[in-house]
Amino acid sequence: MNLLTERDWLEYLAAQRTVNDPSAALGRAAPVVRAVLERHLNGAELSRADGEVLFATEGDDLKAVIAAADHVRRQRVGDTVSFVVTRNINFTNVCNMGCRFCGFSKRRGEAGAEWLDLDEIAHRAEVAWQRGATEVCIQGGLHPDLPGTYYRDIVAAIKARVPALHIHAFSPFEIWYGAKKRRMSVVDFLGELKAAGLGSIPGTAAEILDTEVRRQLTRDKLSARAWIEIVRAAHGVGLRSTSTIMYGHIDGPRHWAAHIDLLRAIQKDTGGFTEIVPLGFVHSEAPLYIEREIPGVRPGATLVEHLKMHAVARLMLAGWIENVQVSWVKLGPQVGQALLSAGANDFGGTLMDESISRSAGASFGEEITAAEMVQIIRDAGREPLRRSTLYAPLERYADHDPVALVPLKPRPYDPIQFIRPRRTAHSPNQAETAHG
């Protein structure tokens, strides 16, 4: 049984930042775990079954997995931690699909329903560009009144206003919906978007690529097979994508290992994934958790599960998907920073705006500025690098800092406070309460 608290794990990970040799941790692991890890460190690819073994670890066995993942990360991508300056634009929250994990969507006419017009979307993209963004990430609900050309029109409007900005937009679910609205094949629809200026797509809407789980989460609105076909089609027309996994709801090690194995199989065929982004289920405002219609729904992933997911993803995907990103908006800056010692090498985007996770109950705000990103990365003992969407290096911060900007919107917290809690003579335990 794992008796380590969250604080124990965070302190352990902080202590591991300067440990380069995993052999001591492997020596304390159970024989079966040590055998799997040693085979991998000697060049063998992990099987799905191996992944299940590693996902089941606790205590010293998990420490060995983390040490191996950090070692492989260092070998594959070095000590650089990258991030991208981007703005999220969630152009509508109106959606009739009714996914049970989503706290973002509204019905048409419901209080709080939003739909941005093209001029406002382009304006937000221009503001992002002026603040140093090289990317806008655009996703929205599946609005029933959305015109067939609307996705193309969004891309064209942004390109007309800011031609050099990379547009990373539209999940596979949106691609499916847009092609249906447009009465086009998915391949032709993707080609139309690419011709208009679409640069890449987010590999969201994957959730767990398991038919039985997806039926419960999404009522099978977009099947696992359809997600795979759309991602392969995107890669086929030259649009690269991220890959994701959403965990911590009604899933478990068997689903996680199979999902990562499937992503690896796609990557072997297409080479189109830029990274994997593990996404912990945010439960507090999600109907799946609030209404408890499905037995066994959990209140999101634990810190131990976050550690396992990032570490095992690094090991299973080694040589195929080299970038493992932490989602700071779901995990918070402190946990995100800790995961840099568990196989992760990318801190995601500055965001500037974020609606989807926040609507589901995430409590970590909407923006970490580039200057704050650099502080967080340096504090973890790593080298900050600003990158492009497709992981081209743009600026290294070895001897200087980014321009310090005031956040675009007021924030309820200071992200640096999470990684460097302030202690005073009158509040010696403030570090213990930094999570709120």
Tokens of 253: 């090690």
What is the residue-level pLDDT of the chain in tens, covering all 436 positions? 457 899 999 999 999 999 999 999 999 999 999 999 999 999 999 999 999 999 999 999 999 999 999 999 999 999 999 999 999 999 988 887 655 555 555 666 676 788 999 999 999 999 999 999 999 999 998 888 999 999 999 999 999 999 999 999 999 999 999 999 999 999 999 999 999 999 999 999 888 998 888 877 776 578 999 999 999 999 999 999 999 999 988 899 999 999 999 999 999 999 999 999 999 987 555 555 555 667 777 778 999 999 999 999 999 999 999 999 999 988 989 999 999 999 999 999 999 875 544 444 445 567 899 999 999 999 999 999 999 999 999 999 999 999 999 998 888 778 887 776 543 333 333 322 222 2
Where does 80-397 sit in CATH, by number? 3.20.20.70
Domain with CATH 3.20.20.70 in the chain: 80-397
Cα(353)–Cα(366) distance, integer angstroms:
5
Cα separation, 415 vs 162, whole angstroms: 30
pTM: 0.90
Query: Residue by residue, what is the 3-state secondary structure of 101-116?
Result: CCCCCECCCCCCCCEC
